C-alpha cells in the first residue's frame, strides 16, 4: 500500500518519516494526479488558510468527492481544520467531510505549544501528543466517534473513513496513531 501526504505546506516530512518507521511506502502529493493508486491521504498540520489557498478550489472539491467515496483521510491540526464541516467564525468548511465544528488556535498561541500524553480510545494509553496552536472540537454530530480529550475538550475523532487529530503525532517517535490510520486504510481497502 502507498499512503499519500498532502505536501502544499506544513509538517510533511515528519509524516513521511512516521510512515517509514512503520514500513509503509508514502508519496508526497501536490496535485490531483498524485492521488492515483493511493490507499489513504494524510493532511498535515501547518496553516489551514495557507494550505487552502495553495490547494485551490478544484483540488479541494476533488478531495471532497474522493472522501465521499469512502477514501481514508487523516487530518492533523490544520489538516483537521480542512476536513471539518464547520469552523467557528467562518461561514463554511473547506473540504468539510467530517461532521465536527472546530475552534482554531483554541490551545493557545505558538509560544503556548505543549506536549502531553493522551489516552486514545481504540489506540492506547499514554500516547504523546504535541499541540501547536491547535484547534479543538467544539461540537460533533451523532455519527462522529470522539476518541480522545484534553482539558475537557475533544481532540481526536473519527467518522467512518475520516480521522482527525488536533495534535501532531508525527512530531513524536510513537507511531501508534499512524499505525491506527494505516490499519483503518487497510480495513477500508479490503
Q: Could you give the residue numbers annotated as active site?
A: 77, 168, 170
Which is nearer to ligand GLN, 18 or 48 (by Cβ)? Answer: 48
Distance CA 78, CA 45 (A): 4
Q: Which of 74, 100, 104, 181 binds ligand GLN (CB under 6 A)?
A: 104
Which is nearer to ligand GLN, 25 or 115 (by Cβ)? Answer: 115
Distance CA 9, CA 46 (A): 6
Name every residue whose Cβ is closer than 8 Å to that of residue 122 and which is 6 or more positions away in sequence: 147, 158, 180
Which is nearer to ligand GLN, 123 or 165 (by Cβ)? Answer: 165
Work out whether 81 is an interface residue with ligand GLN (CB under 6 A): yes
Work out whether 48 is an interface residue with ligand GLN (CB under 6 A): yes
Stretch that binds ligand GLN, among 64-72, 77-85, 118-126, 139-147 (CB under 6 A): 77-85
Q: Which residues bind ligand GLN (CB under 6 A)?
A: 45-48, 77-78, 81, 104-105, 132-133
Amino acid at each position: 500500500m502507498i499512503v499519500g501526504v498532502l505536501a502544499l505546506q506544513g509538517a510533511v516530512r515528519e509524516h513521511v518519516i512516521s510512515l517509514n518507521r512503520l514500513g509503509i511506502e508514502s508519496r508526497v502529493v501536490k496535485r490531483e494526479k498524485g492521488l492515483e493508486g493511493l490507499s489513504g491521504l494524510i493532511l498535515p498540520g501547518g496553516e489551514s488558510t495557507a494550505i487552502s489557498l495553495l490547494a485551490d478550489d478544484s483540488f479541494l472539491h476533488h478531495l471532497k468527492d474522493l472522501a465521499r467515496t469512502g477514501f481514508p483521510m487523516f487530518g492533523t491540526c490544520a489538516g483537521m481544520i480542512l476536513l471539518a464541516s464547520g469552523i467557528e467564525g467562518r461561514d463554511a468548511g473547506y473540504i468539510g467531510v467530517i461532521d465536527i465544528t472546530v475552534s482554531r488556535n483554541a490551545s493557545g498561541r505558538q509560544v503556548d505549544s505543549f506536549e502531553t500524553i493522551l489516552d486514545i480510545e481504540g489506540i492506547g494509553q499514554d500516547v504523546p501528543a504535541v499541540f501547536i496552536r491547535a484547534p479543538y472540537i467544539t461540537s460533533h454530530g451523532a455519527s462522529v466517534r470522539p476518541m480522545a480529550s484534553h482539558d475537557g475538550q475533544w481532540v481526536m475523532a473519527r467518522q467512518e473513513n475520516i480521522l482527525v487529530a488536533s495534535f501532531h503525532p508525527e512530531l513524536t517517535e510513537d507511531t501508534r496513531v499512524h499505525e491506527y490510520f494505516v490499519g483503518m486504510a487497510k480495513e477500508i481497502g479490503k
